[in-house]
Structure 1
């Protein structure tokens, strides 16, 4: 039995940590399957995953080959069973869309030929420019149901509850992504009929006629007005279309789940994966969260899986990963854990040009941060490369292969198409094994947070569609885009993390704000914000809440109507926006520190203060872009200019609001990320060196040194997970270690001792010995072992007899 509860994945009553490697059986010669699974196990993974490509298994209508009669690599059952023989769980990804560089993104050619109406009509009556479909088109769903029936005839007998190894099923892949990246919303006749019904159910008649004066016209007129809006406020349509599409995606997921369950699927979670990273960053990733959060929170039995494509984790990107994990957590239900459906690994050489290659630390550091934030499942994508066979039917597309990447596929993977391991494999494998060495601990641990929450507003990321001819909509999206990420991530979030703050996200749009449960609330804010959220923030602060608002104070609601509830409650007077250009060198200065010099900036929203405490003044004016004040019982600090990563400044603002970082270090040149996870008294302290040179530091908690004040050493781009109060068994407790655990049981603990200074503190009633001679202090049953930097052994084992 597999359960999803308390943010854990529980298999047969035992919380599990699933480290999965994606291997595409259909791209690897069958006689090499076993070799790839053996290499997967060598990486440390305890599970395997694969897409099941419809375009490959049913090239010709009603001729589905899932048993290998056409190609031996088509034998899905044999591959799942072989994984079971190797004691590997299996994660099934049957589409219907799979992407994976497959042609048609995994949809058979015949489907578009047989049912041309499934291809969406979009803005201005044009046909969609990508190979997406109308997800709820009856003929599409009819064929998907038939495809699912064929796939699950193979999969159902191999489900975990039936004695098999299948432990999760993904429904479709990156739903809504293709229409987002092409700005091609599905505006087919069927969809617009449903949209019209949705509008009639959402508004009273008077409001509806005001928003859509043509709502009662003939349907052809309604279609034309939506596809090329002229007599409607574009921001009204933007909101309504976005809200409706969330519901529509949710309905699509519900239909797919019903298909699977009608085929006998039960006892496993259904995953909905979230797209959105690009160019090595995650600034647009929450667009996917916004599109799909209603899909995976609609009922029990769902988990959401991120698509993480970051490349290196370093000083540029680390806050991206931390924030999107927090934002996913913000919209989850109480029981849903963080998971990743596609966790990018390998060397980044996607074009076989030997450029853009990742540091070996890339997968390691991303793994460590994600596990520290509570991820219970990571699917390393792509673990092994392979080959794209030719299609059986000619396509005259240049190579006639099943995928767009040519004959070889996955050449950036840790395991090449030919089965050779590249330079990233060993470092990735080390981190996987380190996590699984203590999986019984990590599977139930949660990140410890300071009294701090980072606000997530889904509608700020509901920008996947906009009518291309609307200037007002472009301005609206441009303002949201410039405020929702960029400065708030690059300056504010990065500063908070480097200053030692640990936090998670909170959905302030859809969930209540309770002063008792929310400490300091950090809100990235734009010129637009709904009346409901503005009033919620005012009420929260008035009841004693503490807020740091960063970006712009809102002047409009999300439909472009004047809405200044927050400005009015603050009592300031808006004057004007200042923007730098080639002739105007916009500058600001802190007024609370006379030593601070002027700072160039590119934007500042200027206010006249009326008794509020000034923080940042706009040079050459009497206006301010930063201040603090009170609203009844609460306090709020406002910054309306992107201010540099001055850690002391951000730390002082947050301290003034009542929160200080609990876990810090004393390295004075930045570049270290710290956090911790806990279950009862057991903990791990995570440290990541985000730069390529070595660093030494002490770790402090509430200004008290941990590890008895021992100096910690981190090589460039190194991460460590240090144990604190870990129970080895009922007789032995590892109070701390300045090095990582490699393995443990009741008779021994083995540590990685490549670090310079090693110190362990253990309490045990057993007799203790060590594999390497160490300095030992003993007081009753307490042992402190010290090994200085003249040792040569890379591992140390402590034995208990």
Structure 2
């Protein structure tokens, strides 16, 4: 449990206070960027000891963290963002290496501070920066008794190019792309695919910078755009692997390297998988390396709780068994980033998001930004209006739980409560993984290869819009929302590479008409071998380059008979057929009429055409195709999943939508039930799982982690309606009381006693503890004698 504190934005005399407040919140790790732009002096030298400015005393800060008993997550860039000028890269880099400034569409220079990561001049200087900072970190690694426990490589690589729609199309990059294309498609294949010869330098460059709009076919345009993204992913991986190698050359080894993933936008996480798609080649299956989320989604509500769940699931889908999910920028604070009071996040939000993330296996949470500070002046004025290291003004981090002046904000107590909840069960969480119901969500990396579209390419704009509308969570985000709020817990699978087990879980996939041929082939083989598939959105009929490809539709025996879109004058409506128990007709925003095989599950009321069908595939497989954006009626989606034999392990239906339930377990069978109420009203419900029934309540926007079959020395805590509040000592059980009354059951041959107002009685099942309402948050100690 970590918090971000920027030493370079604080006076030395304030470091201790901020670290003490971090420790008081329960965190045991401090994270910080280590900006190149701060540590490089005006004469081009590097100061890491504070000899020229207190803001540069990285060594002093690391040593103070060690004195305070805190571990350190080091984030030395070269890019760091953090509202710094040039995203943390010194101004001179842009003067010294003009060729590193990318050229984008039509040869126009990049509109952001991004650089060509592999341009030799920039890369050489970046390696010199690493040669300065990495030995300082290497001397203080945990492997040699120091505080540095992990090192992040660069930051949000590829984000600046994406958000400005500026692919890197310099002469050097295009020459590299030509070589990549020849290796991938051959020379003749490249000419056919793109309408340009990799050996014709001038034509090759003009073709790519025009985005294929200077002649040729629509298919060539789409192939060209697709492969710009694919080639960029290869380049990002080479860059990050080079940084990793340089760090290791300078002694940083034996600790994790971290890759920070970007992608949330406007309080939502629908675009976050773009970052996974961009960067996973740099870390998927790479030893000693893992990824971390970077999310800003404001309050957690029924709207965006599926976003965060999907983000964690998709991150895990590309990891191997040794790569835990982490969060390197876990939004904390009020959300008032513009200091204009346009948004104030509710105080419990950090706790709700923390609870969801640890339930999904996050092993590291870094609250960003934990403490604010101020932006010192640049060594040399540049005449940009404030001449400081950052563009936020003098103060920075005004939304943080600890503000720039060191005062605690309204969100500090919620952060403390979140950390306490994790600390209470961390001895179990560290060895646990999330349990799933019999379904996984399909992740298709190429559905998120949508960063770039040439302004004049109507075909590409249309394709991107279609991908964005249907991918991931489905039209109107309904698929994931219905599954999560309907009481299902599920992982994800990378459909570009995973081997699908027909005897394993069902696969749920939200898909546009475009679905790459390798993924279609894999899913077709899956259902033909007996697998179960839920498709939501449009029937896949095209490869990534837009060329017709219907292998999956052919396997299902289903065809599209046309799309119907809603308009202000047309209200497409569907009715579920008899299997759903007499559901009323509902209006939808789109529907696709289907023909061919399958039992109708829903029909277009205009002409009776099926818009959802159930298919039995030769070979024993089954599929449900839902080609409309049916509303998020939870009962409808539950019954639909039952058609594919997907059943909930945990039945916990509250009095209003908004209750999320899942569980984690370890190899010994110990479990934690994770219950999160994102609704603005309290929930009273009966929870049933594994033959156990509990009567529970959750206040508005509250969460619980309830222990099940947790072992003590010679006893078992069968269940408790209160959370654990620490590991105890084998003969002592520590519980954290909630506001209401509570109870617990312990199996043991020893006597059991409890302090305070808790009563203990022996029953046929074991020792039953009961305590009345009151004293929320207090610790209840139970003793075995």
TM-score over 0.5 (shorter chain): yes
| Residues 340 and 60 (structure 1), Cα distance of their counterparts in 2 relative to 1, 3 Å cut | same
Could you tell me how far apart the structure 1 residues matched to 2:342 and 2:692 are?
A: 43
Contact 1:712 1:757 in 2 (8 A): no
1:738 aligned to 2:725? no
| Residues 791 and 99 (structure 1), Cα distance of their counterparts in 2 relative to 1, 3 Å cut | closer
Could you tell me how far apart the structure 2 residues matched to 1:784 and 1:574 are?
A: 60
Task: Name 2:107's counterpart in structure 1.
Answer: 125
Task: Name 1:432's counterpart in structure 2.
Answer: 419
1:187 aligned to 2:149? no
1:147 aligned to 2:129? yes
Give 1:511 shift: 1.6
Could you tell me how far apart the structure 2 residues matched to 1:784 and 1:604 are?
A: 55
Task: Name 1:101's counterpart in structure 2.
Answer: 83
1:684 aligned to 2:666? no
1:42 aligned to 2:24? yes
Task: Name 1:242's counterpart in structure 2.
Answer: 229
1:649 aligned to 2:632? no
| Residues 243 and 790 (structure 1), Cα distance of their counterparts in 2 relative to 1, 3 Å cut | closer
1:579 aligned to 2:559? no
Q: SS where residue 467 of structure 1 aligns?
A: coil
Give 1:261 shift: 1.1
| Residues 115 and 61 (structure 1), Cα distance of their counterparts in 2 relative to 1, 3 Å cut | farther
Q: 1:598 aligns with which of 561, 585, 594?
A: 585
1:694 aligned to 2:682? yes
Q: 2:452 aligns with which of 465, 479, 483?
A: 465
Task: Name 2:56's counterpart in structure 1.
Answer: 74
| Residues 792 and 379 (structure 1), Cα distance of their counterparts in 2 relative to 1, 3 Å cut | closer
Contact 2:427 2:727 in 1 (8 A): no
Q: SS where residue 313 of structure 1 aligns?
A: coil
Matches within 5 A, 1:776-791: 776-779=760-763, 782-789=766-773
Give 1:781 shift: 10
Gapped regions of structure 1 (runs ≥ 5): 1-18
TM-score normalized by the length of structure 2: 0.96
Give 1:205 shift: 3.5
1:31 aligned to 2:13? yes
| Residues 768 and 622 (structure 1), Cα distance of their counterparts in 2 relative to 1, 3 Å cut | closer
Q: SS where residue 447 of structure 2 aligns?
A: helix
| Residues 255 and 594 (structure 1), Cα distance of their counterparts in 2 relative to 1, 3 Å cut | closer
Contact 1:689 1:716 in 2 (8 A): yes
Q: SS where residue 726 of structure 2 aligns?
A: strand
Could you tell me how far apart the structure 2 residues matched to 1:42 and 1:188 are?
A: 50
Could you tell me how far apart the structure 2 residues matched to 1:411 and 1:652 are?
A: 48
Task: Name 1:536's counterpart in structure 2.
Answer: 522
Task: Name 1:757's counterpart in structure 2.
Answer: 741
Task: Name 2:336's counterpart in structure 1.
Answer: 349
Task: Name 1:157's counterpart in structure 2.
Answer: 139
Q: SS where residue 341 of structure 1 aligns?
A: strand
User: Could you list the per-position Cα deviations for residues 395-434 of structure 1 after superposition, in whole angstroms to 9, with x for gaps in the alignment?
Assistant: 1111111101100000000000111111111121112122
Task: Name 2:754's counterpart in structure 1.
Answer: 770
Q: 2:533 aligns with which of 547, 556, 567?
A: 547
Could you tell me how far apart the structure 2 residues matched to 1:258 and 1:767 are?
A: 58
Matches within 5 A, 1:3-42: 19-42=1-24
Give 1:639 shift: 0.5
- Report the number of matched residues: 776
Gapped regions of structure 2 (runs ≥ 5): none
Give 1:216 shift: 5.0
Matches within 5 A, 1:277-676: 277-297=264-284, 299-485=286-472, 487-488=474-475, 490-516=477-503, 518-592=504-578, 593=580, 595-608=582-595, 610-632=596-618, 633-676=620-663
User: Could you list the per-position Cα deviations for residues 114-153 of structure 1 after superposition, in whole angstroms to 9, with x for gaps in the alignment?
Assistant: 1111100111010010000000000101101110111112
| Residues 597 and 769 (structure 1), Cα distance of their counterparts in 2 relative to 1, 3 Å cut | closer
Contact 1:20 1:380 in 2 (8 A): yes
Contact 1:739 1:755 in 2 (8 A): no
| Residues 573 and 308 (structure 1), Cα distance of their counterparts in 2 relative to 1, 3 Å cut | closer
Give 1:224 shift: 1.1
Contact 1:66 1:151 in 2 (8 A): yes
Contact 1:528 1:557 in 2 (8 A): yes
1:718 aligned to 2:702? yes
Could you tell me how far apart the structure 2 residues matched to 1:293 and 1:720 are?
A: 33
User: Could you list the per-position Cα deviations for residues 670-720 of structure 1 after superposition, in whole angstroms to 9, with x for gaps in the alignment?
Assistant: 221111110122111111111122221111115x443xx3x2121111111
User: Could you list the per-position Cα deviations for residues 598-655 of structure 1 after superposition, in whole angstroms to 9, with x for gaps in the alignment?
Assistant: 21111111123x4521111112124221111111111110001001111111111111
Task: Name 1:7's counterpart in structure 2.
Answer: none
Task: Name 2:201's counterpart in structure 1.
Answer: 219
Contact 1:687 1:721 in 2 (8 A): yes
Could you tell me how far apart the structure 2 residues matched to 1:216 and 1:687 are?
A: 56
Contact 1:330 1:507 in 2 (8 A): yes
Give 1:790 shift: 6.8
Could you tell me how far apart the structure 2 residues matched to 1:75 and 1:81 are?
A: 10
Contact 1:250 1:298 in 2 (8 A): no
